[in-house]
Structure 1
Amino acid sequence: MLSHIVLRRGLLSTRLIAARWPTSSSAMATVSSDDYSEKKKEMNRPLSPWIQYKWQMTNTLSITHRITGMGLAVLVYGGGIGSLFTSQTNFPQILQWFSANTPPSLLLTLKVLIGTSLAYHTFNGLRHLGWDYGFGFDLKQLYTTGYAVIGLTLLTAIAIVLANQ
């Protein structure tokens, strides 16, 4: 018997599996990639999961959450490292210079991009915290909270635009 760790609903649990996995090296040697391919063909299933799954809102929100997190991290760390090279100026002076030398349309675009990225990452992060506590795993709840995150992010974008007029 092999012990296998499974991450399910955000909680770590241990499940014993015996029948699925061979326990001896001789049994493992009998399984070949040709057998795997033939079995998939008989079952009329694709060999790759990327072919099998269709694009959905749930994986789009997951990928976007990662992208916004990386973008915000680069922005924060880049700002911190950049401040090391500007010894005579402080942050409000840098913002004032940037605001004076940037076209208003580009400035508004940057504010909306940064603000909505922060809002989206925060709202979706709260959704993920709910998952860590075991809430919101039903399909209906997944889509409801996903649409709520998208709606709150759009409201944030509208608020940023209206606040800058």
Structure 2
Amino acid sequence: MAALIRVVGRQCLLQQQSFFMQKRVAPVSSTAYEEMKKYWDKNRKLQRPLSPFLTVYKPHLAMMTSLTHRVTGVAMQCAVAGISITLLALPGDYPHYLELVKSMSLGPAFIYAMKLILAFPVTYHFLNGIRHLAWDAGVGFGLKTLYKSGYFVMALTAVVTTYFVFFL
């Protein structure tokens, strides 16, 4: 009796399993390519800008200070890594290359330009980093405060960089 129930039960399960395992696919109305083509055609017809760069997003102080902060950080990291790897790979030691640069008798304009190139990113990134730390503490998110702190960082960067370039 138990064997009969088992055989009948298996047959019923196999029939139901084949019923449940059948593919049920909804008809595809369009492909992803066709959907995107319709989307872009609609936007062209409505004369919407296809790229928001400099059309929708007008440059403003917060955007530019953030961009400059990121660029100075990446530039300093690349410079430190590049100079370090170069100095490790070159034969000789640091005093040798320092004497080599001194022997070139570079003019003051070139020296001041190099000092500016070195001083600006460090100064700006440091001062704007303090501004970012204030934001992390929840201070300075008001629009007026944001603009005041942005102009203050730019002015202080100019003063400190000038001091580094001409007085140190």
- Output the TM-score relative to the length of structure 2: 0.65
Instruction: Find 2:61's aligned residue among 53, 57, 60.
Output: 57
What do residues 74-102 of structure 1 show as CA deviations (whole Å, max 9, x unaligned)?
A: 21001110121234312x44334323323
Give aligned-pair identity as a percent.
Answer: 35
Whether the 8 Å contact between 1:120 and 1:153 is mirrored in structure 2 is: yes
Confirm or deny that 1:100 pairs with 2:103. Answer: yes
CA distance in 2, matches of 1:54, 1:145: 20
The answer as to whether partners of 1:99 and 1:107 remain within 8 angstroms in 2 is no
The CA distance in 2 between the partners of 1:107 and 1:100, in whole Å, is 13
2:127·2:153 contact (CA, 8 Å) conserved in 1?
A: yes
2:159 paired with 1:155: yes
Answer 1 or 2: which has greater helix percent. 2
Give CA deviations for 1:67-125 in whole Å, capped at 9, x if unaligned: 211211121001110121234312x4433432332333212101111111110011111
Secondary structure in 2 matching 1:52: coil
Q: Which protein has the larger Cα radius of gyration, Structure 1 or Structure 2? A: 2
CA positional deviation for 1:45: 6.5
What is the aligned residue count? 133
Q: Matches of 1:85 and 1:35 in 2, distance apart?
A: 55
Stretches of structure 1 that go unaligned for 5 or more consecutive residues are: 1-28
The equivalences for 1:17-96 within 5 A come to: 33=39, 37=43, 41=46, 46=49, 48-50=51-53, 51-90=55-94, 92-96=95-99
Distance 1:103 1:151, change over 3 A: same
Structure number with higher strand proportion:
1
Q: Which runs of 5+ in 2 are unaligned?
A: 1-31
Q: 1:36 to 1:153 in 2, by over 3 A?
A: same
